[in-house]
Structure 1
Amino acid sequence: MTSPTPPQAAARERAGEPGLATTVALYTLARLGLLAVVTVVLALIGVPWLVALLVALVVALPLSMVLFRGLRERLDRAIAASTARRSSERASLRAQLRGDVGPPPSPDTPVAPASPSAAPSAGASPSPAAAADGAEGSTGSDTASPAGDGPAR
């Protein structure tokens, strides 16, 4: 099964939006840089380093909310896009597991037309749908049972 990442990465590059990991790294570096700048400024004023670091931790949070508003919005968009992509992939996988749709064609493997005379070889594994059907029969979830087996479900 192939991942839909390459087409989405190309679409993001065309839109000028970096990926989630890049955006998180950039936001983290900006926040740490602000912390370092505030710490250095306080230390140059004459505040001891440890106290300057503790004060910078408290001051940098509200300051970053104001200074990095655009970067935070970009991070929110990247998280929303990642969440939407993952939920659509999850829905597609669940549909495949239920047997509603077939697996997506692999771009590496050419699609051959199915012929009724082509029988699977002895070493070939059964299709996921056939494996699922076989697994259902072994769990006892068959709905067609003889009338004398017990109460109807």
Structure 2
Amino acid sequence: MVLDVLVYTIARILLVAVLAAAIYFGGKALGIGEFPIVIPMLFAIVLALPLGIWLFAPLRNRATASIAVFDERRRQDREQLRSRLHGDNPRK
């Protein structure tokens, strides 16, 4: 689970970095001399939100599936612990 979520997170961060660099150097190429890096970063974040959802759908689906498996396993362990604490026969 951790690896899937980490890959998805890194992909989203790299998308923001690539978009920020493209916007920054695109502004420089257009002749904008005073161009603070904060402006391209903000535009990159705004553009990366919908773009990342579309581009990284397979990564997001894999991360979501692995989180669901982890949550189900945790839920079953919690139910088993509760049944043992109540003195019931544990389900296996």
Do they fold alike, i.e. is TM over 0.5? yes
Structure 1 CA distance for aligned equivalents of residues 64 and 38 of structure 2: 33
Give a deviation string over 1:2-32, Cα, whole Å, max 9, x none.
xxxxxxxxxxxxxxxxxx1111111110000
User: Which segments of 5 or more consecutive residues in structure 2 lack a partner in the other structure?
Assistant: 29-34
Q: Who is 2:4 aligned against? A: 23
Higher relative contact order (CA 8 A, sep 6+): 2
Could you state the TM-score of these two structures normalised by the residue count of structure 1?
0.52
Aligned residue-pair number: 84
Q: Who is 2:65 aligned against? A: 77
Of residues 65, 69, 72 in structure 1, which corresponds to 2:53? 65
Tell me which protein shows more helix as a share of its residues. 2
Percent identity of equivalent pairs: 37
1:94 aligns with 2:82: yes
Q: Who is 1:41 aligned against? A: 22
Structure 2 CA distance for aligned equivalents of residues 25 and 83 of structure 1: 17
- Structure 1 residue ranges, 4+ long, deviating more than 4 angstroms after superposition: none
User: Which segments of 5 or more consecutive residues in structure 1 lack a partner in the other structure?
Assistant: 1-19, 105-153
Letter in 2 for 1:78: S
Superposed CA RMSD in Å reads: 1.5
Structure 2 CA distance for aligned equivalents of residues 54 and 83 of structure 1: 34
Q: Who is 1:119 aligned against? A: none
Letter in 2 for 1:99: G
Letter in 2 for 1:44: F
Q: Who is 1:5 aligned against? A: none
1:52 aligns with 2:33: no
Residue 101 (structure 1) shift: 2.4
